[in-house]
Chains A and B, each alone.
Chain A
Amino acid sequence: MRVFSFQYTRKSSIIHKIDPRAKLVYLILFTILVVYYSNPIILFLIFLSSIPMVVLGKVIDRWKISIRSALFFIIFIFIFNFIGIFWSTGSLEYSIILSIAMSIRFIALISIFSAFFLTTSPEDLMQSMVQLKIPYEYALTFNMSMRFVPTLTRELQIIMDAQKSRGLELERGNILQKVRKYIPILVPLIINSFRRAEMIADAMESRAFGASKERTSFYTLTMGRKDYIFIIVSFISFFAILSLKLFFGIG
């Protein structure tokens, strides 16, 4: 089983070299668009707009893994939305279109976030957050939670294997029984996470975390010409897509 792998790999590409703050602008603008529109065609357009980032960033393989695991969830998103909307409106056509829109919205979000996280090194991201005056503790917490996603996925796999070896059959039973079957998997996962958090805290304190109020940085990020161009291009595409609704009334 492979879950969303937002895992960064060191590579050299134009997108990798762009300042995380510039990419953050892109991330925010396009997330706004995804949430704002509920027209399936425009959402699909937004989805397509993230592909150049992925191609230029040379992270197609990992992006595909993200998209593939998202496709799995889409089945549920579609079914539940369809049932919910059909229940309240009673219109078949409307329900189908909106459910499709919801599904594409999810894929588009996953794609945009993948494009961002796959090409942005965690250290740079943290440094840029600090330079954006986000308190260091919060930046670190965010960064560490991202850092432990792959660790947790790996651990989840081991725990599932261990419990399956003891005769746990996850596939069998009705929904309620299935949910109960996840207890033997979630308990070790949660307990190990707490234990690990404690160990990390100890390790950090023994390396003088929080010893002085003022932290210095070994290196600082500076915005260059390509970063400003990237921001401008992001804004142009943002307004171009937004104008579809504002001036042409589509979506």
Chain B
Amino acid sequence: MIEFKGVYFSYVPGEYVIKNINLFINRGEILAILGGNGAGKTTLVKHINGLLKPQLGYVKVLGMNTKEVSVAKLAKQVGLVFQNPDHQLFAETVEKEVMFALINFGFPPEEIKSRTEKILRGLDLIEYKDRSPFTLSGGEKKRLALAAVLCYDPSIIILDEPTTGQDYNQKRNLAKLLKRFNEEGKTIIIVTHDIEFVADFIPRCIIMSNGEIVADGPSDDILTRGELLMANKLLMPQLVEICYELSINPPSIKFDVVLSKVRAIMKGEI
């Protein structure tokens, strides 16, 4: 339902930021796009809601070729939450901030009211509803930016670096929330370099390097390949590092699996 076929894009003529991207994402999938700074992750996801159009190849989202439809039309289906909430918060109150997109998409007034209230409750922001967005803390602003997109119920949700500046509890809450939306049948794409978050919560991952997709597969396969990660400026998840240090073969990203192996070593069974 999201399909990239031979996609190239450059900001400066001749210097491709993403090269030969071939990618297929099914409805209801949840996946992470990993890669170092400048690998082309953000450029890639901006193609999904049509902010950027491929210079070669094509991108199809829900059967629509992104070159043929407007950003506004795609945005209704594809919710893209940007990395820095300060780049989008502008309204006088938290409530109005959420209403912005709903008004843009022409929802009827009663529905705007009910949707706003529902999403603010869902993200623990209801008590701030009359406050200015600029008085919120960093983590709250991030949740508000998320609410401002989730409110109109897009079927694809893309989050650019959602975990930066969040403590562990907030990350876990985010993961829970994403799981809930995923169970409702939404497709979720997360752009990040927080490898531990991916190892803990996201089943499929893609690694990008220098504008190309260098690996695509289940997280418990890809994240245990130490050399691949290092070659692409990524750290191994700590569990995998422990596996390598203790020569546990095959390495795993599952806490329980590693724990039982470590216990076995301590008992002298291996």
Q: How far is the CA of A201 from the CA of B152 in the complex (A)?
A: 40
Q: Report A226 CB to chain B, min CB distance, Å.
A: 33
Residue A159 is within 8 A (CB to CB) of chain B in the complex: yes
Q: How far is the CA of A191 from the CA of B132 in the complex (A)?
A: 13
Q: Report A9 CB to chain B, min CB distance, Å.
A: 13
Contact among B51, B86, B89, B90 with A165 in the assembled complex (CB-CB below 8 Å): B51
CB-based contact A166/B134 at 8 Å: no
- With a cutoff of 8 Å between Cβ atoms, the chain A residues found around residue B104 in the complex are 166-169
Residue A204 is within 8 A (CB to CB) of chain B in the complex: no
Q: How far is the CA of A187 from the CA of B152 in the complex (A)?
A: 23
Q: Mark B152-168, 1 if CB is under 8 A from A, else 0.
A: 10000000000000000
| Interface hits, A150-177 → B, CB 8 Å | 155, 158-159, 161-169
CB-based contact B86/A164 at 8 Å: no
- With a cutoff of 8 Å between Cβ atoms, the chain B residues found around residue A162 in the complex are 82, 87-88
- With a cutoff of 8 Å between Cβ atoms, the chain A residues found around residue B90 in the complex are 183-185, 187-188, 191
CB-based contact A161/B51 at 8 Å: yes
- With a cutoff of 8 Å between Cβ atoms, the chain A residues found around residue B149 in the complex are 165-166
Q: Mark B200-217, 1 if CB is under 8 A from A, else 0.
A: 000000000000000000
Residue B71 is within 8 A (CB to CB) of chain A in the complex: yes
Looking at A161, A162, A195, the one whose CB has the most chain B CB atoms below 10 A away is A162
Looking at A155, A188, A195, the one whose CB has the most chain B CB atoms below 10 A away is A188
- With a cutoff of 8 Å between Cβ atoms, the chain A residues found around residue B100 in the complex are 166, 184
Q: Report A164 CB to chain B, min CB distance, Å.
A: 5
Stretch at the interface among B72-80, B231-239, B242-250, B261-269: B72-80
Q: Report B144 CB to chain A, min CB distance, Å.
A: 12
Given contacts A159-B87, A184-B100, contact A165 B71 (CB under 8 A): yes
Q: How far is the CA of A165 from the CA of B50 in the complex (A)?
A: 9
Residue A192 is within 8 A (CB to CB) of chain B in the complex: yes
Given contacts A159-B87, A184-B90, A188-B89, contact A165 B105 (CB under 8 A): no
CB-based contact A169/B70 at 8 Å: yes
Q: How far is the CA of A162 from the CA of B71 in the complex (A)?
A: 11
CB-based contact A165/B87 at 8 Å: no
Q: How far is the CA of A155 from the CA of B86 in the complex (A)?
A: 10
Q: How far is the CA of A42 from the CA of B269 in the complex (A)?
A: 93
- With a cutoff of 8 Å between Cβ atoms, the chain A residues found around residue B134 in the complex are 191
Which range holds the interface residue count of chain B?
Answer: 20 to 34
- With a cutoff of 8 Å between Cβ atoms, the chain A residues found around residue B79 in the complex are 165
Q: Report A65 CB to chain B, min CB distance, Å.
A: 11
- With a cutoff of 8 Å between Cβ atoms, the chain B residues found around residue A155 in the complex are 87
Given contacts A159-B88, A184-B100, A187-B90, contact A165 B70 (CB under 8 A): no
Given contacts A158-B82, A169-B104, A191-B134, contact A164 B88 (CB under 8 A): no
Give the nearest-CB partner of A191 in chain B.
B134
Give the nearest-CB partner of A169 in chain B.
B72
- With a cutoff of 8 Å between Cβ atoms, the chain B residues found around residue A195 in the complex are 86
CB-based contact B148/A166 at 8 Å: yes
Q: Report B106 CB to chain A, min CB distance, Å.
A: 9
CB-based contact B72/A161 at 8 Å: no
Q: Report B188 CB to chain A, min CB distance, Å.
A: 16
Q: Report A187 CB to chain B, min CB distance, Å.
A: 4
Give the nearest-CB partner of A2 in chain B.
B11
Give the nearest-CB partner of B88 in chain A.
A162
Give the nearest-CB partner of A172 in chain B.
B72
Residue B66 is within 8 A (CB to CB) of chain A in the complex: no
Q: Mark B137-148, 1 if CB is under 8 A from A, else 0.
A: 000000000001
- With a cutoff of 8 Å between Cβ atoms, the chain A residues found around residue B51 in the complex are 161, 164-165
Residue B49 is within 8 A (CB to CB) of chain A in the complex: yes
The 4 closest A-B pairs by CB, nearest first: A167-B104, A187-B90, A162-B88, A166-B101
- Measured CB to CB, the residues of B under 8 A from A are 46, 49, 51, 70-72, 75-76, 78-80, 82, 84, 86-91, 100-101, 104-105, 134, 148-149, 152
- Pairs across A and B, CB under 8 Å, 11 listed: A159-B87, A164-B51, A165-B149, A167-B75, A167-B104, A169-B70, A169-B72, A184-B88, A184-B91, A188-B88, A192-B86
- Measured CB to CB, the residues of A under 8 A from B are 155, 158-159, 161-169, 183-185, 187-188, 191-192, 195
A184-B90, A192-B86, A195-B86 known; 12 new pairs, CB 8 Å cut-off, are A161-B46, A161-B82, A165-B75, A165-B80, A166-B148, A166-B149, A167-B76, A167-B152, A184-B91, A184-B100, A185-B90, A192-B87
